[in-house]
Chains A and B, each alone.
Chain A
């Protein structure tokens, strides 16, 4: 039955029907608080080590609005720095990727050079040169006073570079806990290599993408998944497992790819991975590892605003792949993923529509997270678990986010 305004705005009993308030996806104040209380304090999955294969290779990115540069040092260690010149605050390394062995017009090879005034930094973050330093600063400032701001940085869990803006962040292994137990063998047995990268700016809230990665009820949207999975044995037995700090995993099933016209059973896999298996690890606050037989997809997010997110998509195989094996993995990956894949476009349309319906300034409304199916695939426990962690860090109730609740553990 259609609703009147008062009926439409009536809140359900949260104990009976869990929900969140749409303002967690649209309110600017909440978004700013998320940047401070979550994104500046946690470990963030960034690039893959295979994107910086040689000493002095670099990648640049953004975490919680801060420009970051990741560099493989001459000692082969990968480090992360704020990509900001300590002189006048300019961004230093400007390209998305490259090698410091190539000299910039303003500086020497093997250094990161700020093009503005030629201040140069080595791959350890030390200041290597300040033009006319003594003439301008006399004895008040020298190179040793102005190194780059180094960030916490570790390479882990399949060779991804994890970075935190916080010096006080808990150890990465403590933050992740056992969330990768389900995928330990697949991503930890031998080196991986990235073969696919693309990005999407979507006018929607970053959590809505993570929600999509955290619930499978939306498989009704995907003809590919209905044919190859939902209609196949084992689909409704897939289980979610929740881990501390807001992470969750989704158990495997045997996907029947040949049930989709033009698709075929996977030939390749990962160590320990069933040939047509499908596993996921959803990581708080915004990353997902998703293995479907022959390819690993990793989504990482950069929140831009309450109604804008940058999502980066990577596809990975085994570093030792032959050329033929790599081609096969890429074909498998692109059937459903990539910007022209059958599934990813549909998923992105889904959160684009949510972004329209919940754009900043729209009336608050309830977003249901209330499916209970004993932790199996259409249960919405993945989302509920995520928002327990969100509530703990934000000290706000997702169902009533404008009410502050100090010391809140969870709803």
Chain B
């Protein structure tokens, strides 16, 4: 369905709303609700450039079925239960034709400790987990915008014990 006749500002605002709504759902670990904001052929990637090996790396990549499996299996995995919280600012929204928008969002992701090290000492402490940018491609063809693709481009490369959660 072709995009309704909307001015660019309206489309850009709907894209920003989508990105911020997605951030709230990720913060609340409502991962299934977050996936509901994505198109069926959505792909999620975490990428990093390594100056150490002079290569662009993909650290995580899932399509929708893969992300659903990852989410469903979280309770079966031992993990660090620190809550990730994102502070994001949408820097730019650009239209690619009439049906697709691309957006760049700068984010800082904090981890508020629960376990994972020594909960007596560390629970409740908030640490910087990662900084980077979201590069999103978003369908604006339908009534509601949907994520087509999210590339999390991390600046942070030392992840220490890492995480089982999407950033």
Which of these, A201, A260, A261, contacts B158 with CB under 8 Å?
A: A201
Residues A198 and B163 in contact, CB atoms below 8 Å apart: no
Q: Given A200-B160, A203-B117 in contact, is the A51-B52 Cβ separation under 8 Å? A: yes
Contact of B118 among A48, A51, A356 (CB under 8 A): A356
Q: Which residues of B37-88 are within 8 A (CB) of A? A: 46, 48, 50-55, 57-62, 65-66, 68-70, 72-73, 76-80
A356 to B118, CA, bound (A): 6
Q: Which residues of A contact B8 (CB under 8 A)?
A: none
Most buried by B among A50, A194, A224, A327: A194
Chain B residues near A346: list those with CB within 8 A.
Answer: 77-79
B91-113 interface mask toward A, CB cutoff 8 Å, 1 = contact, 0 = none? 00000000000000000000000
Indicate if the CB atoms of B161 and A348 lie closer than 8 Å: yes
Task: Say yes or no: B57 contacts A339, CB within 8 Å.
Answer: no
Q: Which 3 A-B pairs have the closest CB atoms?
A: A262-B69, A339-B162, A339-B159
Interface residues of B in 104-130 (CB under 8 A from A): 116-118
CA distance A200 to B51 in the complex (A): 16
- Answer whether residue A197 sits at the interface, using C-beta atoms and an 8 A cutoff: yes
Closest to A53 in B: B54
Contacts of A223 in B (CB 8 A): 73, 76-77
Give the docked Cα–Cα distance between A294 and B157 (Å): 24
Which of A97, A224, A261, A334 sits near B58, CB closer than 8 Å? Answer: A334
CB-defined A-B contacts under 8 Å, sample of 28: A51-B52, A96-B51, A97-B54, A194-B55, A200-B159, A200-B160, A200-B162, A201-B158, A202-B161, A223-B76, A261-B72, A262-B69, A262-B70, A262-B73, A327-B58, A331-B58, A334-B61, A338-B60, A339-B162, A340-B46, A340-B60, A341-B162, A342-B73, A342-B77, A345-B163, A346-B79, A348-B160, A349-B80
Is there an interface contact between A195 and B52, defined as CB atoms closer than 8 Å?
no
Once the chains bind, are B161 and A200 in contact (CB under 8 Å)? yes
Q: Check A194/B53 contact, CB under 8 A, given A221-B78, A349-B116.
A: yes
- With contacts A330-B58, A339-B59, A340-B46 known, is A352 near B158, CB below 8 A? no
* A134 at interface, CB cutoff 8 A: no
Q: Does B164 contact A (CB under 8 A)?
A: yes
Q: How far is the CB of B93 from chain A (nearest CB, A)?
A: 27
Q: Taking beta carbons and an 8 Å cutoff, which residues of B are in contact with A?
A: 46, 48, 50-55, 57-62, 65-66, 68-70, 72-73, 76-80, 116-118, 157-164
Q: What residues on B are CB-neighbors of A117 within 8 Å?
A: none
11 extra A-B contacts, CB within 8 A, seeds A96-B52, A198-B159, A338-B60: A97-B52, A199-B158, A200-B161, A223-B77, A327-B58, A330-B58, A339-B59, A339-B159, A341-B162, A346-B79, A349-B161
Confirm or deny: A128 has a beta carbon within 8 angstroms of a beta carbon on chain B: no
Q: How far is the CA of A196 from the CA of B65 in the complex (A)?
A: 24
Which residues of chain B come closer than 8 Å to A342, judged between CB atoms?
73, 77, 164
Main SS class of interface, A: mixed
* Chain B residues positioned under 8 Å from A330 (CB to CB): 57-58, 61
Answer whether residue A95 sits at the interface, using C-beta atoms and an 8 A cutoff.
yes
A109, CB-defined interface residue at 8 Å: no
Query: Does B162 contact A345, Cβ atoms closer than 8 Å?
Result: yes
Residue of A nearest to B46 (CB): A340
* Residues 216-258 (chain A) with a chain B CB within 8 angstroms: 221-224
The answer to whether the Cβ of A344 comes within 8 Å of any Cβ in the partner chain is yes
Interface bits A175-208 vs B (CB < 8 Å: 1, else 0): 0000000000000000000111111111100000
* A59 interfacial contact with B, CB 8 Å: yes
In the complex, which of the residues B78, B158, B162 has the most CB atoms of chain A within 10 Å of its own CB atom?
Answer: B162
